[in-house]
Structure 1
Amino acid sequence: MPHTRKTADIEQQLLVEAIYRRYHYDFRGYAQASLKRRLHTALTHFNCKTISQLQHLVLHESTVFPALLQYLTVQVSEMFRDPEYFRGLREKVVPILRTYPSLKIWVAGCSAGEEVYSLAILLREEGLLERSLIYATDINASALQKAEAGVYDIDRVPGFTENHARSGGHTSLSEHYSAAYGRVVFDKSLRRHIVFSDHSLATDSVFAEVQLISCRNVLIYFDRQLQDRALALFHESLCRRGFLGLGSKESLRFSSHAAQFDEFVPGQRIYQKRGEA
């Protein structure tokens, strides 16, 4: 019997369910087309012809799932990605953040940490870092380790530097890292204000009240139901009139939570939670 597309879809559903039951990572609400592309790449890496073969490895070889997780979670980012977003935060949101005696910020889906350090540097430049605590969360333990280390290849730095300048940065990015052996390491003084932690938008609950949430280029990989779950978490976590930043291809427009937010920086996907009626 030929290995049909329908059979592959069934195998994918069974694998996702098996991962949830065995490892408690929930990919059931992820966009299936995107997941399919990533699994196709993973099959080659694990030398599997079918997803069923991959499922067998996932369930019976303990080293396979952590490796597969690198394919299932998206680890593509850069510092000050979409500089106009950070300029919007700097020019429109920061003046309001200054009114708080202390700040808590949540970077959801922090990947390898580029956005976390970008926000930390922005806050330092604006004189707010010393009274700020940034929660950086992801479901990928390997990515969190990389983020906490704050080490990046030096050949990425020119792009980081250009983005930082375009975002309105008013220091030299090189003031915030040291370079050696083809890599750069961001200052420990930045990391003192960051808490790295495992958190799943699919299964976990709110853990703190925050003034700003930045969750960019994560929701695009979720189906509508999981998007709404994540947005409900964000709404619950944000303080009154708190801020939510999304990715350039993401929007609240068709969400069931759209009425709970106002667009604060038009065009940059920065929203403000509405005050109580």
Structure 2
Amino acid sequence: MEHYEWTVTSEHASDRIDKFLTAMDEGWSRTQVQLWIKDEHVKVNDVKIKSNYKVNEGDVISLTIPEAEELEITAEDIPLDVVYEDEDVIVINKPRGMVVHPAPGHYSGTLVNALMHHCKDLSGINGVIRPGIVHRIDKDTSGLIMVAKNDHAHESLVNQLKAKTTRRLYKAIVHGIIPHEHGTIDAPIGRDKKDRQSMTVTEENSRDAVTHFTVLETFSKYTYVQCELETGRTHQIRVHMKYIGYPLAGDPKYGPKKKTLDINGQALHAAVLGFVHPKTGEDMLFEASLPEDMELLLQQLRSV
């Protein structure tokens, strides 16, 4: 059980209590904070309050975070598109719509649930919720993801990600016609202060983020691009392409409010994945063809 206490300064006077608390730690979402308030884990001057309470200068705010309940994640017989597998690593071509690991609202039907049925040996470094998971791709992004089957492989793959030696190429359809054949977006990404569930380009509480892009094909109102990640920040390609004025087609969070192309989620696919094998030292490179929905979109755009 963790306990925190703050005294409100003039800088935060009149802020809602839930907004104040999310500003105290970028890892706390507004939804999580509101649950803590509802369950009376938050008090102001030793008195329980509601999420819409506006703090005053001098208020003493206390938060006691309860011990996390140990969740039992169950193995589920869900078909997997296994691109490669040995005793150390497994590479999966994840379909659009599948969540990578269990989280509030998604405790079943995830890639982890499927992996636990497919193979009994997964690294335990990330605990019960994320066994074997060394990196993620968004629920509505399809494509290649590597998974560690033991702790040695896990540490090796994570170190390669940190050293920026892995290769990760994505294919995407974006709004607008990009006039440059190649480009690099070097812009730090952090949590959006106005929307804690979103990321944005910002200098404040951010981490460096670099995306290289190449134009593959242009259409009347869209561009088909390849993006290579140098870093791997949350929603990086989606945030970066929006930042330069070419948001991903179908992106419900960072794209236009009005739905344009007929695709369930952002038109983004992790097409190429490369890394050094944790045990053999061999260079491994895998490719996954575009999913049917993106291929269909490209055919439609070419016919216009």
Q: State whether TM-score is above 0.5.
A: no
Higher helix share: 1
**Which protein has the larger Cα radius of gyration, Structure 1 or Structure 2?**
2
More relative contact order in 1 or in 2 (CA 8 Å, sep 6+)? 1
TM value normalised by structure 1: 0.33
